[in-house]
Amino acid sequence: MKLQKILSRFLKLHPKEIDLSLDRILNLCEKLGNPQDKIKAINVVGTNGKNSTIQACYSILKEANIKCNVYTSPHIQKINERFVFNNQELKDDELADLFEEVEKVNNNQPITFFEILTACYFYKAAQYPKNINLVESGLFFRFDATNILKKNLATIITSISKDHLDWLPKNDQTIEKIVFEKTSNLLNSNVIVAKQNQNTMNYIKRNISKNQSNKIFFNEDFSFTNGENGYFYYEDKFGGLKLPEPNVLGLYQLENISTAIATLRMLDFNIKDENIKIGIQKINNIARLQEITTGNLKNLVKDNLFLISGDHNEDGARVLNDYLQSLDCNKHIIVGMMANKDHESYIGYLKNISSITTVDIPNQPNAISGKKLKDKFNHLPNVKYAESVEKAIKSIKLNRGDLLIITGSLYLCSEVLNLN
């Protein structure tokens, strides 16, 4: 209760949820003693795969007995997920104490919710100067609150695609502009670029051409091939690795894991091959093609495969579809989305779907209603609306061997996990 009261006060500090500027967080961090200057960080920017890449790095580093601090967003079930220090999430009372200390220093000055959370993270992270910080950026990077470091160990650029277009002027809603916003202000250290489509890769290379960082690119400096019999193969200038399949689903996760491996091997943390092999089998990646194996909702699905995945943009739908098409079964989708997404493009990537059920996302005023979403999908066969996730599951006739997946938003996945 105390934690929720503090968060409610944080939400009232600025009239906007997002206000792209660095002034407010710089001012607050200066009052806090510029903690961001005292940490060793790996920044992760991009559109898709940021959290997955961070979780792969984190799992490998833990296996190598290297202490980490981790800052990600959004959280799925509880805000504590965003605040990991010394390989542990902060407990409610610890988080409340941290928030109150920073709140007192801020002294009711205007600052957005994400900005004050980021300042809290930096303030606490500075207490562990030897730890490796894995820091996820927000929707863009140039004016993102995480972009106030003067130096870092590396920047990882994950897959970049169209998303959050409503924050750009109409004439600038292009992949070229998104690449500019995410990569034009990177620090001079090391830059690792994950797999991209060729046009996007060309934009990235052009945009960072004057950056003096050591740069490594997927398919030029590191790569992977999908193997057989439960293995895949990774290769970079340090040599090749035959690796067991990770504990996360989807070929795209091999892209994220390979990017994580490339980063950690380049930074020379003295990580052993065995740390990598074991680490990639212990990745904790909530709501990203996550299988639900027990719980209240699982009981409704019974013996059928039950997945949730927070994919919410075109590229997310593309890689989700790649995974679904690899399965020989009937696929049933329950979908809820935020209002500012390209709903038709998203659903258009998902092929050979047996049924689509749209739902509302509770407690999310910026979500599109399930009824309006159904209207947008009416050109597709077997589309219906249900008032809740439970009613949606009960309305679907699942035959033996069918798959049920709930997708379209991380907020919807959060609701599913809480209900389950």
Domain ranges, ordered by start, for the chain: 2-279, 290-419
> What CATH topology corresponds to 290-419?
Protein-Tyrosine Phosphatase; Chain A (3.90.190)
Round to whole Å and give the CA distance between 107 and 99: 12
Round to whole Å and give the CA distance between 358 and 376: 10
Give 406's strand partners: 308, 334
Round to whole Å and give the CA distance between 77 and 97: 20
Pinpoint the alpha helices (H) of 291-388: 296-301, 314-325, 343-348, 370-376
Contact 322, 195 (CB under 8 A): no
CA angle 325, 331, 334 (to 5 degrees): 120
> 23-31 vs 92-106: helix axis angle to the nearest 10?
100
Summary mean pLDDT of the chain: 94
* Closest of 323, 305, 316 to residue 338, by C-alpha: 316
Q: Is the peptide bond before 381 cis (omega within 30 degrees of 0)?
A: no
pLDDT at 297: 97
* Closest of 400, 408, 420 to residue 334, by C-alpha: 408
**Least reliable range by pLDDT among 151-165, 212-226, 340-354:** 151-165
2-279 and 290-419, same CATH topology: no
Give the amino acid at 18: I
| Contacts with 41 (C-beta within 8 Å, 6 or more apart), sequence order | 132, 133, 134, 135, 149, 152, 153
Round to whole Å and give the CA distance between 322 and 315: 11
More confident residue, 166 or 20: 20
pLDDT at 170: 74
- Given a cut of 80, whether residue 316 has pLDDT beyond it is yes
- Given a cut of 90, whether residue 385 has pLDDT beyond it is yes
Residue 248's pLDDT band, with cuts at 50, 70 and 90, is: very high
Residue 175's pLDDT band, with cuts at 50, 70 and 90, is: confident
- Given a cut of 80, whether residue 184 has pLDDT beyond it is yes
What are the tokens at 198? 């060729």
* Burial label, 195 (beta-carbon count in 10 A; 0-12, 13-18, 19+): buried
C-alpha Rg value of the chain to the nearest Å: 21
- Given a cut of 90, whether residue 21 has pLDDT beyond it is no
Give 403's strand partners: 305, 331
* Closest of 181, 17, 25 to residue 118, by C-alpha: 25
- Please report, for residues 59, 307, 312, 380, 384, the alpha-carbon distance to residue 342 in angstroms, rounded to integers and kept in the order given: 33, 22, 9, 16, 19
Homologous superfamily (CATH) of 2-279 is: Mur-like, catalytic domain (3.40.1190.10)
In the predicted model, what is the mean pLDDT of residues 87-99? 97
| Contacts with 145 (C-beta within 8 Å, 6 or more apart), sequence order | 22, 25, 112, 114, 115, 118, 119, 138
Round to whole Å and give the CA distance between 68 and 132: 5
- Given a cut of 70, whether residue 166 has pLDDT beyond it is no
- Return the H-helix or E-strand segment holding 61: helix 50-63
- 3-state DSSP percent of the chain in helix, strand and coil, to 5: 40, 20, 40
In the predicted model, what is the mean pLDDT of residues 112-128? 97
In the predicted model, what is the mean pLDDT of residues 195-217? 96
- Given a cut of 80, whether residue 113 has pLDDT beyond it is yes
Residue 164's pLDDT band, with cuts at 50, 70 and 90, is: low
What are the φ and ψ backbone dihedral angles of 389, each rounded to 5 degrees?
A: -60, -45
* Closest of 398, 391, 397 to residue 419, by C-alpha: 391
In the predicted model, what is the mean pLDDT of residues 129-136? 98
| Contacts with 341 (C-beta within 8 Å, 6 or more apart), sequence order | 163, 312, 313, 368, 408
- Given a cut of 70, whether residue 148 has pLDDT beyond it is yes
pLDDT at 172: 65
